C-alpha cells in the first residue's frame, strides 16, 4: 500500500492581497464584527492556558464572550510556557541598531528557510511591538538598563538586539501577566476555569467544531462540553521523541484528536533541535534541560582541534581550540540560527572532536565574557541558568565551560490554519505552538513567545469574530448523536487501554518510540532510515496495543492511563512525521535530508518542487493520509541559499 496519496491543493482563502504592510489592517477592517450584546450570548472553549491560550481566553472574556478554559495542570499558571527562559522578540528598535518591522519580517522568513507565509510573518512582526507595550502595562518585569529603559539582547539569526527578557525566566514572567489577566476574568465570572481536565476528543456537529469531550483527571468523570467555537492552544509535540526540553506533560492529544476529526496537520516533520542543551548523561533520563540561547550572546562555542583530545578544557591552549561557529560563520558567529548551530555541533562530534564522557558535547565557554565584563555582570544576566547547570551537572560554569549538545525543543508543525487561525474544521481555531505557525522550517529564538502572545492577545480576538458573527449557533447538548458518539469513543478507548493488561510499561514504549524517532527522524534524515522508522513504529505500535500494562482503573487519578492515551497518539503522529519527512525530498531548516546537502554540508532546498506547506488529511485508521499542498508565494523576500557566513 502507498504511504500516502495526493489530493487537491489547499489555499488560504482568508489571506488578504495588496501591499504587505496594509494586509493585516485590511483583514481586520473587512472581517465581520460581533456587537457587544451578542458577544454575551456566545461561548468559546479554549483548551490550554499557556501564553497562547491564557492570553486568548483573557482577551476573549474581556471582549465580552463567555469562555470555558481547560488545562491538565493543577493551575493555569503551570502551563509549559512557564519554562521559557531567554526572551521575546519585538521590532521596537530601542537600540537604534537598524531594526524595523521589515527587518524582523525578513529575518523570520529567511530564518524559516523560506517555508513560511509572508503575510503571516509580516503580521507577526507588526504585532510584536504591541506585545511589549501590553506586557509592560500588565507589569511584566522586563530587564531594564541602569537608566530605566527596557534592555534587550541578541538571539540567533539576527544582527540586531531585539530580544526583551526577564533574566532567564521570561516565560514565567509573561505567563504571570497573562495569568493575572485570566484570573481577573475568572473573578468577574466571564471565564469558567477547569484545571486538571484533559480534552480527549473534539465534537463536530454539521461540519462545525461545537465542543469537546473532557476527562476530569481527579475523579475520572467524562463529560461533554459545548460552545459556539473551539480554540486549541495545546502546545507542541516535541515529546514524541521522549527526550526533549519540553515539560513531561506536553503531548499531541488535543491536536491529534482534532486531526482525526478532519483538521489537516501541516508540516509535521519540522522539528526544532536546539543546539544548547545539557547533554544526555545516561538512559535513566526522562527529560533534557535547555540552556537558553541567550547564553550565546556571551558564551563562545568550541571543541578541541584534535580528535580524541581528552584533556581538561583549561589545559587546551587557545591555538588548539576550534571556535568553529566563529570560523565557519564569521558574520553571525555564535549567533547563527539553531538549525545551523545544531548541525555544526553534530558535525564536529561526528568527526570525533566532541567533549565529555560520551563525546556528544561541545563547550560553551564564558571565560572571555567573565574577563571582559566581570563575574557579577554575567551573574546578573544568567545567574539562574548557571545555577541550574551546576545543580544538574555538578560543574561550576563560572570556572569550567558548560558542555552542551543539541536536543529536541520545539515543533514548527501543527494543525494547518488559515490567516484567521482557523483550521480546516469551521469553528476550530488553533493558536500558539499547536498550529503550524509562522516559523516555516526553523524557528528563530525568542519567536515562540512572540507568536503565542500575538495569536492570543491580538490576532485571534479579531479574526474569530468573523466566524462568530454568524452565531450564536443552534444549541447542542449531550444528547446530540455526535456528542454521544464522541463520548462513547473516549470511553471505549480508555477501556481498551485498561483491558490490554500486558507486561510492559507505557514509559518503556514511549522511550523506544523516542529512540526510533531520534535515530531516523531527528537531526539528520534519509530515505532508507525513514522507511525503516515507519516499519519499526508500526511494529512497536502493534506491540503497544498487545502488551501495554496500565495499572488501576479509569475512575480516579491514574497517571499511567493519562500517559497511555498520549503515547497511543504519539505513535500515530510519529508515523505521519516520518511520511512527511520522507516525501519532502529536500533539506530545509530543521528538516535535514542527508541526500540533499550543498558541497559544504548546508541544507539544500528544492524551491521548484517543495515551496509549499504540506497539509495532511486523515482518512481512516490504517488508510494512507492525503497530502494537500499550499503553494507559498514570495513577493518581498526572495528565496536564496541562506547564508550566515
Ligand X SMILES: Cc1cc2nc3c(=O)[nH]c(=O)nc-3n(C[C@H](O)[C@H](O)[C@H](O)COP(=O)(O)OP(=O)(O)OC[C@H]3O[C@@H](n4cnc5c(N)ncnc54)[C@H](O)[C@@H]3O)c2cc1C
The residue whose grid cell reads 481586520 is: 28
Stretch that binds ligand X, among 248-256, 327-335, 506-514, 518-526 (CB under 6 A): 248-256
Interacting residues of 19 by C-beta distance below 8 A, sequence separation 6+: none
CB of 529 to ligand X, least distance (A): 26
| Contacting range for ligand X; rule: CB under 6 A; set: 297-305, 432-440, 489-497, 591-599 | 432-440
Binding-site member from 447, 463, 558, 625 for ligand X (CB under 6 A):
447
Please say which residue, 79 or 506, places its beta carbon nearer to ligand X. 79
The helix or strand, by DSSP H or E, that contains position 508, with its residue range, turns out to be helix 506-521
Q: For residue 606, with 0-12 CB atoms within 10 Å meaning exposed, 13-18 middle and 19 or more buried, which class applies?
A: middle
Site for ligand X in 66-125 (CB under 6 A): 70-73, 79-81, 83-88
Round to whole Å and give the CA distance between 364 and 368: 11
CA dist 232 and 432 (Å) reads 9
> Any contact of residue 412 with ligand X (CB under 6 A)?
no
Closer to ligand X by Cβ: residue 235 or 361: 235
Grid cell for residue 345: 555541533
Coil, strand or helix at 364: strand
Q: Which of residues 142 and 302 has its CB atom nearest to ligand X in the complex?
A: 142
The catalytic site residues sit at 338
The stretch near ligand X (CB under 6 A) out of 98-106, 427-435, 500-508, 556-564 is: 427-435
CA gap 347, 301 in Å, rounded: 14
Q: Which is nearer to ligand X, 85 or 587 (CB)?
A: 85
CA dist., res. 214 & res. 70, Å (int): 9
Type and span of the H or E element at 30: helix 20-30
Nearest distance from C-beta of residue 245 to ligand X, angstroms: 4
Q: What are phi and psi of 193, to 5 degrees?
A: -95, 130
Q: How far apart are CA 543 and CA 508, in angstroms?
A: 12
Asked if 171 interacts with ligand X (CB under 6 A), we say yes
Q: How far is the CB of 577 from ligand X (least distance, A)?
A: 18
Q: Does residue 47 touch ligand X according to CB under 6 A?
A: yes
Q: Which of 34, 44, 46, 51 binds ligand X (CB under 6 A)?
A: 51
Closest by CA to 578, choosing from 535, 607, 609, 627, is 535
| Euclidean distance between CA atoms 512 and 540, whole angstroms | 8
DSSP state of 456: I
406 scored as a contact of ligand X (CB under 6 A): no
235 sits near ligand X (criterion: CB under 6 A): yes
136 touches 142 (CB < 8 A): yes
Give 421's DSSP letter: S
Per the CB < 8 A criterion, the answer to whether 49 and 149 are in contact is no
Return the number of the residue (169 or 587) whose C-beta is nearest ligand X. 169
Contact criterion met (CB below 8 Å) for 609 and 593 = no
Kindly state the smallest distance separating residue 514's Cβ from ligand X, in Å. Answer: 16
Q: How far is the CB of 272 from ligand X (least distance, A)?
A: 9
b/e sequence 532-548, b meaning 16+ C-beta within 10 Å: ebbebbeebbeebeeeb
Binding positions for ligand X, 496-515, rule CB under 6 A: none
Does 452 sit near ligand X (CB under 6 A)?
Answer: yes
Minimal distance in Å, beta carbon 76 to ligand X? 6
Residue 435 near ligand X by CB under 6 A: no
Pick 119 or 170: Cβ nearer ligand X: 170
- Which residue's CB atom is positioned nearest to ligand X? 50
> Nearer to ligand X by C-beta: 214 or 581?
214
Contacts of 599 (CB under 8 A, 6+ apart): none
- Residue 310 exposed, middle or buried by CB count within 10 Å (0-12, 13-18, 19+): exposed
Q: Is 446 one of the binding residues for ligand X (CB under 6 A)? A: yes
Q: What distance in Å separates the CA atoms of residue 530 and residue 533, rounded to the nearest whole number?
A: 5
Q: Quick check: 433 binds ligand X (CB under 6 A)? A: yes
Least CB distance from residue 203 to ligand X, whole Å?
Answer: 14
Residue from the set 44, 46, 52, 615 that interacts with ligand X by CB under 6 A: 52
Query: Which of 10, 44, 45, 50 is close enough to bind ligand X by CB under 6 A?
Result: 50
Q: Indicate the helix (H) or strand (E) that contains 342.
A: helix 338-350
CB of 274 to ligand X, least distance (A): 8
290 belongs to the binding site for ligand X (CB under 6 A):
yes
Q: Which is nearer to ligand X, 199 or 243 (CB)?
A: 199
Enumerate residues 191-220 that contact ligand X by CB under 6 A. Answer: 198-199
Sign of the alpha-carbon dihedral angle for 572, 207, 46, 90: positive
Burial class (CB in 10 A: 0-12, 13-18, 19+), 387: middle
Decide whether 294 or 587 has the Cβ nearer to ligand X.
294
Cα separation, 90 vs 138, whole angstroms: 17
Closest approach of ligand X to the CB of residue 246, in Å: 5
Q: Taking the complex as a whole, how short is the minimal distance between the CB of residue 590 and ligand X, in angstroms?
A: 14
Query: Quick check: 411 binds ligand X (CB under 6 A)?
Result: no
Among 170, 172, 276, 334, binds ligand X (CB under 6 A): 170
Q: Rule CB under 6 A: which residues touch ligand X? A: 47-53, 70-73, 79-81, 83-88, 170-171, 198-199, 233-236, 245-246, 250, 253-254, 290, 292, 409-410, 432-434, 446-449, 452
Amino acid at each position: 500500500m502507498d504511504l500516502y496519496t495526493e489530493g487537491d491543493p489547499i489555499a488560504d482563502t482568508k489571506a488578504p492581497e495588496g501591499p504587505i504592510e496594509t494586509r493585516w489592517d485590511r483583514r481586520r477592517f473587512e472581517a465581520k464584527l460581533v456587537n457587544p450584546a451578542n458577544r454575551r450570548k456566545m461561548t468559546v472553549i479554549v483548551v490550554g492556558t499557556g501564553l497562547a491560550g491564557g492570553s486568548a481566553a483573557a482577551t476573549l472574556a474581556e471582549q465580552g464572550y463567555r469562555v470555558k478554559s481547560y488545562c491538565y495542570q493543577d493551575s493555569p499558571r503551570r502551563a509549559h510556557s512557564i519554562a521559557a527562559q531567554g526572551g521575546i522578540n519585538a521590532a521596537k528598535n530601542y537600540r537604534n541598531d537598524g531594526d524595523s518591522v521589515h527587518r524582523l519580517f525578513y529575518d523570520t522568513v529567511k530564518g524559516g528557510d523560506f517555508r513560511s507565509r509572508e503575510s503571516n510573518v509580516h503580521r507577526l512582526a507588526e504585532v510584536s511591538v504591541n506585545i511589549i507595550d501590553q506586557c509592560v502595562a500588565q507589569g511584566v518585569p522586563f530587564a531594564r538598563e541602569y537608566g530605566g529603559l527596557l534592555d534587550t539582547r541578541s538571539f540567533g539569526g539576527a544582527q540586531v538586539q531585539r530580544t526583551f527578557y526577564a533574566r532567564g525566566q521570561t516565560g514565567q514572567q509573561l505567563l504571570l501577566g497573562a495569568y493575572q489577566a485570566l484570573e481577573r476574568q475568572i473573578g468577574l465570572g466571564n471565564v469558567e476555569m477547569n484545571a486538571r481536565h484533559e480534552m480527549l476528543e473534539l465534537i463536530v456537529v454539521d461540519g462545525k467544531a461545537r465542543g469537546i469531550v473532557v476527562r476530569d483527571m481527579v475523579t475520572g468523570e467524562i463529560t461533554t462540553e459545548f460552545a459556539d467555537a473551539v480554540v486549541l492552544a495545546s502546545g507542541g509535540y516535541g515529546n514524541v521523541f521522549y527526550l526533549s526540553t519540553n515539560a513531561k506533560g506536553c503531548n499531541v492529544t488535543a491536536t491529534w484528536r482534532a486531526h482525526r476529526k478532519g483538521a489537516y496537520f501541516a508540516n509535521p516533520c519540522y522539528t526544532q533541535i536546539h543546539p544548547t542543551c545539557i547533554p544526555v548523561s545516561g538512559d535513566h533520563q526522562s527529560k533534557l534541560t535547555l540552556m537558553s540561547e541567550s547564553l550565546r550572546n556571551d558564551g563562545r562555542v568550541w571543541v578541541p582541534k584534535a580528535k580524541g583530545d581528552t584533556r581538561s578544557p583549561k589545559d587546551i591552549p587557545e591555538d588548539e581550540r576550534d571556535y568553529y561557529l566563529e570560523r565557519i560563520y564569521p558574520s553571525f558567529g555564535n549567533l547563527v540560527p539553531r538549525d545551523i548551530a545544531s548541525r555544526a555541533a553534530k558535525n564536529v562530534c561526528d568527526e570525533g572532536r566532541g567533549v565529555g564522557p560520551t563525546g556528544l558535547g561541545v563547550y560553551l565557554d564564558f571565560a572571555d565574557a567573565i574577563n571582559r565584563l566581570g563575574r557579577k555582570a554575567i551573574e546578573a544576566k544568567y545567574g539562574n541558568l548557571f545555577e541550574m547547570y551546576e545543580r544538574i551537572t555538578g560543574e561550576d560554569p563560572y570556572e569550567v565551560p558548560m558542555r552542551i549538545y543539541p536536543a529536541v525543543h520545539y515543533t514548527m508543525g501543527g494543525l494547518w490554519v488559515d490567516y484567521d487561525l482557523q483550521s480546516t474544521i469551521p469553528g476550530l481555531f488553533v493558536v500558539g505552538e499547536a498550529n503550524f505557525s509562522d516559523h516555516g522550517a526553523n524557528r528563530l529564538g525568542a519567536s515562540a513567545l512572540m507568536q503565542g502572545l500575538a495569536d492570543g492577545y491580538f490576532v485571534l480576538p479579531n479574526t474569530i469574530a468573523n466566524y462568530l458573527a454568524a452565531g450564536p449557533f443552534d444549541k447542542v447538548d449531550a444528547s446530540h448523536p455526535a456528542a454521544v458518539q464522541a463520548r462513547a469513543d473516549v470511553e471505549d478507548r480508555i477501556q481498551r487501554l485498561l483491558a490490554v493488561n500486558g507486561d510492559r510499561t507505557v514509559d518503556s514504549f514511549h522511550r523506544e518510540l523516542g529512540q526510533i524517532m531520534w535515530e531516523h527522524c531527528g537531526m539528520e534524515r534519509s530515505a532508507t532510515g525513514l522507511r525503516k522508522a515507519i516499519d519499526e513504529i508500526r511494529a512497536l505500535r502493534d506491540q503497544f496495543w498487545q502488551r501495554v500494562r496500565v495499572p488501576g482503573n479509569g475512575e480516579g487519578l491514574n497517571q499511567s492511563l493519562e500517559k497511555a492515551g498520549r503515547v497511543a497518539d504519539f505513535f500515530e503522529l510519529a508515523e505521519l512525521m516520518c511520511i512527511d519527512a520522507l516525501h519532502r525530498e529536500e533539506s530545509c531548516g530543521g528538516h535535514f535530508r542527508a541526500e540533499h546537502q550543498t558541497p559544504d554540508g548546508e541544507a539544500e532546498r528544492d524551491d521548484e518542487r517543495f515551496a509549499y506547506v504540506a497539509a495532511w488529511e486523515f482518512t481512516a485508521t490504517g488508510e494512507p493520509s492525503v497530502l494537500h499542498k499550499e503553494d507559498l508565494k514570495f513577493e518581498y523576500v526572495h528565496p536564496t541559499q541562506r547564508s550566515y557566513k
